[in-house]
Structure 1
Amino acid sequence: MMIRNMGSINPTRGIAAVVGVGPKLGRSIARKFAHEGYTVAILARDLGRLSRFADEIAREEKAQVFAIRIDCSDSRSVKEAFEGVLSLGFVEILVYNPYQPVSWHPPNFTDIRIDAFEKSLAVSSVGAFHCAQQVLPTMVEKGRGTILFTGCSASLNGIAGYSELCCGKFALRALSQCLAKEFQPLGIHIAHVIIDGLIGSPRGSGSPAQRTTAVGEHIQSGGDGSLDPDAVAQTYWYLHLQDRTTWTQEIDLRPSTTRFI
């Protein structure tokens, strides 16, 4: 575990744990919660890159940011990572945002390797199951908390050639719905966020959109058709702030340029 200490832990707030922090959406979500005064734990497989993100966010937001390695396909890795997270204090927010890369030129179904299929299921849904189990007991004890799962257009529609992605994302959506029905009456807000489009770079960065977040063969977009990760992160923050009398259980986000075919 790497610690980036640019301030003291805020005793009035819990920890925001963001699982699956890459250079786009995960980093933006972590930065948003740090900006709002939370101590943030960021988790991903590449600890070297993660530590650079922690340095950057801690410096910019004058916040405490902890970089912790995790492999969401490995239950032991999840448990060890969350031993570190839970040692920081009460995890008030869990954002589950890992992504298992898939080819944009998929093989025929009969050519898909079973280990690739199982890996995608493990990252998309089994890892989410393990992470949620780590934080829910204390959330229930305190009667509050937020869990946000990142889905994509493949969470809703089967797509030819992408069975491993779609099956994992379908399962993640089902997990979110089951947990919402069980735990929202106990004070824990659980929501599924469907990213229906491509995550680009924050406005003004000049970098092209990266085709790494969602599969959307059923849409076409004008311009580059990408979503600004900072704007998407703002939605995650709004979900956390929602009054419990008006909780959202699922929301879909897409750029205004999108048109359906």
Structure 2
Amino acid sequence: MSLAKAVVVGVGAEDGLGAALSRCYASNDRHVLVAGRTLAKVERVAASIRRDGGSATAYAVDATREEDVIRLFDAAMTSDELGSPADLVTYNAGLNQKIDFRQMEASTFEEFWRLNTLGGFLVGREAVRRFVPLGRGSVFFTGASGSLRGMPGFAHFAASKAGMRMISQSMAREFGPQGIHVAHVIVDGAIDGERVKSLFPGVSEQLGESGMLNTKAIAETYWQLHLQHPSAWTQELDVRPFKEKF
């Protein structure tokens, strides 16, 4: 039987959340389109899925380029030897950095908006364009604590993430009645991966056991969202370590 496809946009490091989402979906009988900016990185993730018996294809995609996103969804919604049309899309791309508001260039603010907001719009738009005629499908967005509040030095990040949250809410209200499950997942805390550990040396020791978000556990939350019955859909939820203050 042909596998349904799933799309994960925003895959980087092999121990990152995008990779964990891709592995989770593959382990649940999906052919995964593993998409990210760097082909070498996404191919390593796709190859690891195939080695473990799953099905995955790597795609080099710049989520801020409309033509790249359209090309990805053309592949995702085609029935071929890899699988049947996708029923699950996740936008996991994001950019974060602390910057003094007074020193920020307009081009930097725009760069954050393009990836954190415009990319989410483009992926969300193409997903519902393809899903609405079918009357089914899930579209999930990865948010952050900055989606809800702006902290000192993170105005650019909060503005762009809040924008994506509003896209998610509007999509859910417009397309939920048409059978499309749109959800926003707020990831509140440090993700346990090499990227965070390299940026913040000693963070694991500081936060202690289970003080960082486990990527497999986060990914399982997304999968459970996809399995929800339409009479009880979740539009937004948050995940955080039990030690995290909020």
TM-score (norm 1): 0.84
Q: Which amino acid aligns with 2:38?
A: D
- SS of the residue corresponding to residue 245 of structure 2 reads strand
CA distance in 2 between partners of 1:49 and 1:22 (Å): 6
Aligned counterpart, 2:236: 250
Determine the structure 2 residue equivalent to 1:134.
Answer: 126
2:71 corresponds, among 80, 93, 106, to 80
Alpha-carbon offset, residue 222 of structure 1: 5.1
Contact 1:117 1:164 in 2 (8 A): yes
Query: Following the alignment from structure 2 to structure 1, what is the Cα–Cα distance between the partners of residues 17 and 153?
Result: 25
8 Å contact kept, 1:222–1:257: no
Partner of 1:16: 6
SS in 2 for 1:199: coil
Whether 1:115 and 2:115 are equivalent positions in the alignment is no
* CA offsets 1:183-239 (integer angstroms, 9 cap, x no match): 1111111100000001104xxxxx695477xxxxxxx95557210000000000000
Seq. identity, %: 34
Structure 1 residue 99, shift from structure 2 partner: 1.6
* 2:138 is equivalent to residue 143 of structure 1: no
Whether 2:226 is the aligned partner of 1:240: answer yes
2:58 corresponds in structure 1 to 67
Question: Relative to structure 1, is the Cα distance of residues 39 and 122 closer, same or farther in structure 2, using a 3 angstrom cutoff?
Answer: same
1:72-221 → structure 2 map (5 Å cutoff): 72-87=63-78, 89-103=84-98, 106-107=99-100, 109-201=101-193, 209-210=196-197
Amino acid at match of 2:86: V
Q: Report if aligned partners of 2:127, 2:139 keep a CA contact under 8 Å in 1.
A: no
Distance 1:131 1:259 in 2: 32
Cα shift at 1:39? 0.7
Report the Cα distance in structure 2 between the residues aligned to 1:211 and 1:132, rounded to whole angstroms: 31
- 2:215 match: 229
Q: How far does the alpha carbon of each residue in 1:100-127 deviate from its partner, in whole angstroms, 9 at most, with x for none? A: 1424xx22x1211111111111111111
Whole-angstrom CA distance in 2 between matches of 1:238 and 1:224 = 21
Provide structure 2 residue ranges, at least 5 long, that are not aligned to the other structure: 200-205
| Letter of the 1:70 counterpart | V
Alignment length, in residue pairs? 234
Q: Runs of 5+ in structure 1 lacking a partner?
A: 1-9, 202-206, 213-219
Query: What letter corresponds to residue 80 of structure 1 in structure 2?
Result: R
Amino acid at match of 1:16: A
The question of whether the paired residues in 1 share the 8 Å contact of 2:64 and 2:122 is answered with no
